[in-house]
Amino acid sequence: MSQRNKLQKFAENLAAPNVFENFDTKNPQLIGQHGLEVDMKGKWNELFFKNDNPITLELACGRGEYSLDLARRYPNRNFIGLDVKGARIWRGSQDAINDGLTNVAFLRTRIEIISHFFAKGEPKEIWITFPDPFLKKSKSNRRLTSSWFLKQYKEILPKGAIINLKTDSPELYEFTLEVLEDETEYEIIYENFDIYSAPLIIPELEAKTWYEKLHLADKRLIKFIQIRYLGD
């Protein structure tokens, strides 16, 4: 992608009504449409969605295919895709606008500072769809199911909230199971090394990202872990 195309997409993100961006992790200020500063923490339903429907987050959403698919399937639920890459979010934002989807938004930020943008209990569910598995052991803390990240999710999730991991990485799958063995505030509801070898347990698993379609074409097995938060 040329630098010109990237700059154009970044400009269109700033003009989009469904994109919110943080440009400095040391200053957790969100920028909304037309470059205006906005405070969305605890106010996503009031200020953006204009309803009280439950909010689901998709972490490392890429082009937002999963958020968009779920938004189409469940018009009475709200969805927010998070990713650090503005050009990827641009695709999801434009697709949502073109399809007239008002129950999906996109947040460009680093997930490490997620608690700055959501109040405790505001998101009711998290999807982690084909994230970077960070295969080097030295980068294991960057995996979105590491103990460090699970601690961050506790800051925003209510008791009973669900976290869903969908991945093709056997390393991330096994790592997540090992991490959860030591977690007292999370429990595994369901786990499967090859979800398409049996009937899907929830219809949300029918949604497929661009990466998943590539992995399936390459005969990779798709894995799924569903977790419940047991804390307060």
Amino acid 58: pLDDT: 98
User: Which among 83, 95, 99, 132 is annotated as catalytic?
Assistant: 132
Amino acid 178: pLDDT: 97
Amino acid 3: pLDDT: 59
Please say if the pLDDT value at position 1 is more than 90. no
Instruction: Give mean pLDDT, residues 67-74.
Output: 97
Confidence band for 2, pLDDT divided at 50, 70 and 90: low
Instruction: Give mean pLDDT, residues 154-169.
Output: 97
> How far is residue 224's CA from residue 192's CA, in Å, rounded to a whole number?
5
Mean pLDDT taken over the chain: 94
- Helix ranges restricted to H, the chain: 3-15, 65-73, 86-98, 147-154, 170-181, 210-217
Predicted confidence (pLDDT) per residue in 191-217, tens digit: 999 999 999 999 999 999 888 998 899
**Cα–Cα distances in angstroms (integers) from residue 89 to residues 166, 171, 226, 230, in the given order:** 19, 27, 25, 31
Structural domains of the chain sorted by starting position, each given as residue range(s) with its CATH number in brackets = 40-229 (3.40.50.150)
Confidence band for 142, pLDDT divided at 50, 70 and 90: very high
Residue pair 125/80 in contact (Cβ under 8 Å)? The answer is no
Amino acid 4: pLDDT: 52
DSSP secondary structure string for all residues of 118-178: S-TT-EEEEEEES-----SGGGGGGSTTSHHHHHHHHTTPPTT-EEEEEES-HHHHHHHHH
**DSSP letter assigned to residue 46:** I
Please say if the pLDDT value at position 119 is more than 60. yes
Please say if the pLDDT value at position 122 is more than 90. yes
Burial degree of 216 (CB within 10 A; 0-12, 13-18, 19+): middle
Based on the residue annotation, tell me whether 132 is a catalytic residue of this protein: yes
> How far is residue 132's CA from residue 14's CA, in Å, rounded to a whole number?
26
